[in-house]
Amino acid sequence: MLSRIAFLATGILFIPLAVSAQSTTDELPDAPRLVAQAPPPAAAPAIPSASVPPATPSGPVLTRQQAEQLALKNNPHISVAGLIALAQKQVVRETRSAYYPTLNGELTGVAAEEGSRLSTGSLDASRLLNHAGAGITVTQLITDFGRTRNLVASSSFQSKASDQQAQATREDIVLATDFAFYQALEAQATLQVAKSTVNARQAVNDQVGALTASKLKSTLDQSFAQVNLSQAQLLNLNAQNQYDSAMASLNEVLGTTDDTQFNLVDDPSPPTPVATTAEGVIALALQQRPDLLALKLTHDADVRFARAQRDQLLPTISGLGVVGATPWDPNTTATTFFLEPWYGAAGVNVQIPIFNGFKFHSEAEEADLRAKASDEQSRGLIDRIVRDVRTAWLTMNTAQQRITVTTELLTEANTALDLADTRYRLGLSSIVELSQAQLQQTQAQIDQANARFEYEADLAALRFQSGSQP
């Protein structure tokens, strides 16, 4: 992406100026040759190279590992995934609560017409007496033939799936942080090249201006030098904008709204691939990718839930108990109805589903179909993982080869610039040749930086695809 910035200078320079130079060469005087009376060529200052190292950015130092730690600590997506995982653990407790008894306390006070003993609806005979009472009712599940057990297992698998999804979110944030870090590092390197280029072109422009004023160079050389300087300044503006945008993206993934201009420091040596072959990376991915593990756990949860839905067709056996007191005054007529001041009862209730419009059958069939669908989703994800790993492996290998090519290209561009500089100072070539060499060196520097950081970004993508992120 950033490598296209330098092409702007190349495209603008060699199209209009080549035509302009051809049409005005006959009208401009030839650049005078250096004669014996003139200062020797060695006295002329050398054309500065764009490879002069720029000043180090003044912001706080930030490495890739530090950026990942900050993102894992501050990024809100990490907190959201963690809270969802904790919430799912509470669902397990909610489902498991069916194993424990249910106790309810009750207080009742009734003022009624005692002569009436008939009622309808929810009023039974005891509620038609003047009395006050307090008691406790207990309900305990004895067995539902596996339904609660399968529901608990299903919610437990869902909780484990949420944990894996939280881990997948962590890996997503780490990958996004690595991409943002390398993009910002690439923008920082390009900005440094642009600043060095501006300094070098400014020095060339000053020198050519002095030579033109001394009648040692033509005004065409001065025009070329000024255009080169303007192109370098435009390159610097574009690189500065890319750098600011990359820093904004990096701050966002780090979970901050500050506009911190970090001094990014790359690793001394790029990390090694997680495996030596693509097949090895695929094997790792199928074992430890958290999104795949989460989907498999979700399928297990769906299977157990389908069993629980079928268990609705079986009876449910529960134990019931009640105990309480009904205080009364011996001087009142309440003694006619309440012989003792307490009451209690115990029993067993068996609930057998007979017919409910095939609701339980339909719910069981729905859950079974959803379990089969989640299994197919796992198969589809496996196919995508294999494809993504192979693609990431090929991309990483290509990026590694680009590092070698761009390094050789930069060496050749530096040599060509040195030769063009010498030839120009000796008056053996025009400034067009020097300008071409300068642009080629600038482009080679940007290409080398891009190749290095794109390779490291591709390594991060390969680590993500294998599930080996922190």
366-408 residue pLDDT tens: 999 999 999 999 999 999 999 999 999 999 999 999 999 999 9
pLDDT at 380: 95
DSSP codes joined into one string, 286-301: HHH-HHHHHHHHHHHH
Please state the three-class secondary structure of 5-31 as a single string. Answer: HHHHHHHHHHCHHHHHHHHHCCCCCCC
Whole-model pTM: value is 0.78
Over residues 87-96, mean pLDDT: 95
pLDDT tens, position by position, 26-37: 333 333 333 333
Q: Is residue 129 part of a domain?
A: no
Mean pLDDT over residues 439-460, rounded? Answer: 91
The fraction of the chain above a pLDDT of 70, given in percent, is: 80
How much is the pLDDT for 268?
A: 78
The confidence band for 180, taking pLDDT boundaries of 50, 70 and 90, is very high
pLDDT at 275: 85
Residue 125: what pLDDT?
52
State which residues form the domain around 425: 49-98+163-308+377-466
Nearest CA-CA partner of 424 in 414, 415, 434 = 434
Q: How far apart are CA 320 and CA 347, in angstroms?
A: 5
168, 73 contact by CB (below 8 A)? no
Instruction: Kindly state the average pLDDT of the residues 259-275.
Output: 83
Residue range 217-239: mean pLDDT, rounded = 90
Q: Output 271 or 71, whichever has higher pLDDT.
A: 71
Whether 206 is covered by a domain: the verdict is yes
C-alpha span between 286 and 279 (Å, rounded): 11
Q: Is residue 451 part of a domain?
A: yes
Q: Would you say residue 40 lies in a domain?
A: no
pLDDT on residue 126: 56
pLDDT band, residue 113 (cuts 50/70/90) = low
In a domain, 346, yes or no: no
Q: How far apart are CA 139 and CA 162, in angstroms?
A: 33
Least confident of 6-10, 63-67, 92-96, 109-113: 6-10
Is residue 28 in some structural domain?
no
In this prediction, residue 93 has a pLDDT band, given cuts at 50, 70 and 90, of: very high
Give the model confidence (pLDDT) of 296-311 as tens digits. Answer: 999 999 999 999 999 9
Q: Average of pLDDT values for 262-271?
A: 83
CATH (domain of 442): 1.20.1600.10
Q: How many domains does the chain have?
A: 1
pLDDT value at position 276?
A: 87
Residue 424 domain-assigned (yes or no): yes
Mean pLDDT on 128-155? 89
Report how far residue 59's alpha carbon sits from residue 232's, in angstroms, rounded to the nearest whole number: 24
Q: What is the pLDDT of residue 308?
A: 96
State the pLDDT at residue 215.
83
Q: Are strands 61-62 and 316-325 parallel, antiparallel or unpaired?
A: unpaired
Establish if 104 belongs to a structural domain. no
